[in-house]
Amino acid sequence: MSELLDTALQLDQNDPLKRYREQFYIPVDVQGKAKIYFCGNSLGLQPKEATRYLQESLDKWQSQVVEGHFEEPDPWVSYHKLLKAPLAHITGAHEHEVVAMNNLTTNLHLMMVSFYRPSGQRYKILLESGAFPSDQYAVESQVRFHGYDPEDAIIEVKPQPGQETLCIDDIVATMQKHQEKIALVLFPGVQYYTGQYIDIQKITEAAHQIGAKAGFDLAHTVGNIPLQLHDWNVDFAVWCTYKYLNSGPGNNGGVFVHERYANDTSLPRFSGWWGHDEKERFQMKKGFKPMYGADGWQLSNVNILSASVQRYALEMIARAGMENLRKKSIQLTGFLQSCIHEADPEGQHVKIITPTNPEERGCQLSMFVLKEDKKLFQKLTEAGIMVDWREPNVIRIAPNPLYNTFEEVYHFYEILKTTLHVY
């Protein structure tokens, strides 16, 4: 047996999280053979038991009908509260600082309504260059909404020439250079394309030092890296739950709003009845009185069918524990990195652009395909490996510590090596 395979099997055997894999549906090919799924950064696998909570909600709807809003068990009127404990664990927040609602882009708009408040000289937003398109469109439209020109009002930080990832000192230096002009600093935690983790605490501190607000898009960060959003003093954060949180396609996203704004009625916000003081919500009176904390930003009643699935998925992550997931994730991705190196020792075929330091990345590795172009991706796909291709030449590989194994990483290595040998 090869040394690498031996290592992989050992690591799997000693993996304290190994029992979670069988709790997911693993995709299979036409012969029924399990595929190797490394796309959990895009859409997490389906937890088998999630249908139990979904079925309960369907049954409740069938039997209790409209009374289900207030009747036990789990009245719909407060269903979103069931998601708070696991979300607080995942984001390092108090329960009143988080709420599940809407989708990520909607939430980003709602947060910018409250936290992007341009005035006088201070009207610019600092972003990374190459931000996820939805974030770019949201930011551009917000800037225009306030009457500014995106060309002028958006400042982008780029990687150094010849580099693929951002240097945190450059981000801080850019903030200082434009310190009177920046109203909002908006960064991802983990960058979707490169897999780089950008230190949320440092960015927040630097933003606050220049008098700007710090917001984060945590689409690729929640469930991937343990967070301490409260202690790091982050102003707001938004996320979706279908990536590392395994809640299913298009499920409800979420927001974090720091406790210091919990009672802040001076912040402008776009309001709806679900954000109104719940004690008076059904009195149907005029005059919006926000709920304490993140709940005050809710617009609508929660999508219960989605939230049921999400509830199971989030509880599962909280049970596994973010610290345990991270520990395995560092090992698993480290193993993947050595395997890629073994398959292409001279670095002639592929180049990993994700930082090699585990502190600066989550579980995803992104690699440039130097020679083979999209054919390499197609060959991997034909061999039953699910990774993704991002134009112009990147393959993203994200082994998820909740359901992927070291042995799968080993098989990926075998296939990659064989494929590269053909060229």
Ligand X SMILES: *Cc1c(COP(=O)(O)O)cnc(C)c1O
**In this complex, which beta carbon is closest to ligand X, that of residue 104 or of residue 380?**
104
Closer residue to ligand X (CB): 240 or 257: 240
Query: DSSP alpha helices (H): ranges in 178-219?
Result: 200-209
Q: How far apart are CA 29 and CA 42, in angstroms?
A: 20
301 CB-contact burial (10 Å; exposed 0-12 / middle 13-18 / buried 19+): middle
Q: Which of 7, 51, 64, 134 binds ligand X (CB under 6 A)?
A: 134
Q: Is 345 helix (H, G, I), strand (E, B) or coil?
A: coil
Half-sphere exposure of 171 (CA within 13 A, CB side): 25
Told to check if 135 binds ligand X by CB under 6 A, we report yes
Q: Which of 24, 116, 187, 192 binds ligand X (CB under 6 A)?
A: 192
Segment contacting ligand X by CB under 6 A, of 102-110, 201-209, 289-297, 359-367: 102-110
CA atoms within 13 A on the CB side of 314: 28
* 253 or 275: CB nearest ligand X: 253
Only one of the segments 27-35, 54-62, 195-203, 217-225 lies at the binding site for ligand X (rule: CB under 6 A); that segment is: 217-225
Give the range of 160-168, 215-223, 342-350, 365-373 binding ligand X by CB under 6 A: 215-223
Contacting ligand X (CB under 6 A), which of 38, 132, 335, 377?
A: 132
In whole angstroms, how far apart are CA 122 and each of 289, 366, 412?
29, 36, 50
220 φ, ψ to 5°?
-100, 10
* Minimum separation from the CB atom of position 323 to ligand X (A): 24
127 binds ligand X (CB under 6 A): no
The whole-angstrom distance between residue 402's C-alpha and the CA centroid of its chain comes to 15
| Structure token digits, residue 141 | 């439209």
Residue closer to ligand X by CB (options 190, 340) is 190
Which CB, 130 or 334, lies closer to ligand X?
Answer: 130
Which of helix, strand or coil describes residue 352?
strand
Identify the CA nearest to 376 among candidates 417, 319, 327, 338: 417
Among 15, 74, 128, 217, binds ligand X (CB under 6 A): 217
Which of 188, 254, 290, 399 contacts ligand X by CB under 6 A?
188
**Minimum CB distance to ligand X smaller for 134 or for 331:** 134
Cβ-count burial 319-354 (b if 16+ within 10 Å, e if not): ebebebbbebbbbbbebbbebbeebbeeeebbebbb
**Total chain residues near ligand X (CB under 6 A):** 13
CA–CA gap between residue 33 and residue 20 (Å, rounded): 19
In this complex, which beta carbon is closest to ligand X, that of residue 134 or of residue 324? 134
Contacts with ligand X, 50-89, as mask; x by CB under 6 A: ----------------------------------------
Check residue 253 for interaction with ligand X (CB under 6 A): yes
Told to check if 105 binds ligand X by CB under 6 A, we report yes
Which of 219, 257, 320, 350 touches ligand X by CB under 6 A? 219
Q: CA–CA separation, 410 vs 421, rounded Å? A: 17
Binding-site ranges for ligand X (CB under 6 A): 103-105, 132, 134-135, 188, 192, 217, 219-220, 240, 253
